[in-house]
Amino acid sequence: MDALANELKAKIVESLKLQDVNPDQIDDNAPLFGAGLDLDSIDALELVVMLEKHYGIVIKDIEEGRPAFQSVRALAEFVRARRPSQ
C-alpha cells in the first residue's frame, strides 16, 4: 500500500465532496476523468487547489497538470516529484 496514494484518495473524496465514494473504493490505476471516478473540469480545478493547499504544488498550466490527473498513482508520482522539501 502506498501511503501517499491513500492520503490523496482521502483528500480527493474530501475536497470534491464525493458522498457516495469511499477512498478505499478508488483504484490507484483507474482514470480520474471519464471512466473511473468520472470527474469533470470543475473537479480538476478543485484538485489543483487541493494540491496547492496541502502540498505546496502550483500548477500554472493545464498541460503541466494533465499527466498528473491520469490516475491516483500518477498523481502520487507527480506530488513526490514536485513537493517542496520538508
Specify the pLDDT at position 46.
94
* pTM of the shown model: 0.89
Just give the CATH number of 3-18+31-82: 1.10.1200
Q: How far apart are the first and last CA of the chain?
A: 22
**How far apart are alpha carbons 24 and 75 in whole angstroms?**
16
**How far apart are alpha carbons 20 and 58 in whole angstroms?**
29
User: How confident is the model over 13-71, as pLDDT tens digits?
Assistant: 999 999 899 999 999 999 999 888 889 989 999 999 999 999 999 998 878 888 999 99
Nearest to 30 by CA among 64, 61, 57, 69: 69
Specify the pLDDT at position 86.
52
